[in-house]
Amino acid sequence: MKLKALSLFIFVYVLFIFDQITKWLIIERLFKQDGQDFIGWLLNMKQDRLDFHLQEINPFFNLVMVWNKGVSFGMFANDARMSVILLSGFACIMALAFAIWFMRTTSDLIKLSSILVISGALGNVWDRLRFGAVADFLDFHALGWHYPAFNVADSCIVVGVGILLFKSIFLDGKDDKKASTE
């Protein structure tokens, strides 16, 4: 049991730090160009949000600086401190639920998806607590259509949930069907 908990902590920590490093690189190094060192930035709980910035990379991808005050795709967005507390609390409850699931399952896919969802949720919670919003910077677009800007933590959540959906749609019940035909 201790090995499971330790592996969960290590993998979540690595992905959380990767998410925060990418946000620091975009905010402090690319757009501010004279920003704080990583550890100082990561632990600074009183930070102002950087204004919108855009760096064109190629015809279908930009690096941007936008702040998501809501949840996915900006839903439930407002500047109220209560919103930050409620959204952060909900994300922490979901992370705890996934941690419990991780500890109880024998499925490697559920373990992987749990690690991804937990690390993504915690990365975005840390942003909300420090900035009152989540830093988004990856902007894909084509023919005038823009996918909502997102970050590494968002990617972890989407991939983690995608793995769960794939498992439940395509893999769950296969052994049952196989056994019933024999």
The percent of residues in the chain predicted with pLDDT above 90, rounded, is 76
pTM score, whole prediction: 0.88
Q: What is the pLDDT of residues 82-118, one digit of tens each?
A: 778 888 999 999 999 999 999 999 999 999 999 999 9
Compute CA 165 distance to the chain's CA centroid, rounded to the nearest angstrom. Answer: 17
User: Which whole number is the average pLDDT over 44-61?
Assistant: 94
pLDDT digits (tens, 9 = 90+) for 146-157: 899 999 999 999
Residues 6+ apart with CB under 8 A from 54: 62, 63, 64, 65, 139
**Residues with catalytic function:** 136, 154
Cβ within 8 Å of residue 97, ≥6 positions away: none
36: domain range?
2-181
pLDDT for position 179: 47
The number of folded domains in the chain is 1
- CB 126, CB 82: distance < 8 Å: no
**What's the pLDDT at 35?**
77
Between 78 and 104, residue with greater pLDDT: 104
pLDDT digits (tens, 9 = 90+) for 32-41: 987 789 999 9
Tokens representing 137 are 């910077």
User: Is residue 78 predicted with pLDDT exceeding 80?
Assistant: no
Higher pLDDT, 65 or 72: 65
User: Does the pLDDT of residue 75 top 60, yes or no?
Assistant: no
Dihedral angle over CA of 56, 62, 65, 70, nearest 10: 150
In this prediction, residue 162 carries a pLDDT of 97
Q: In what side-by-side order are the strands of the sheet with 53-58?
A: 53-58, 61-68, 134-142, 145-146
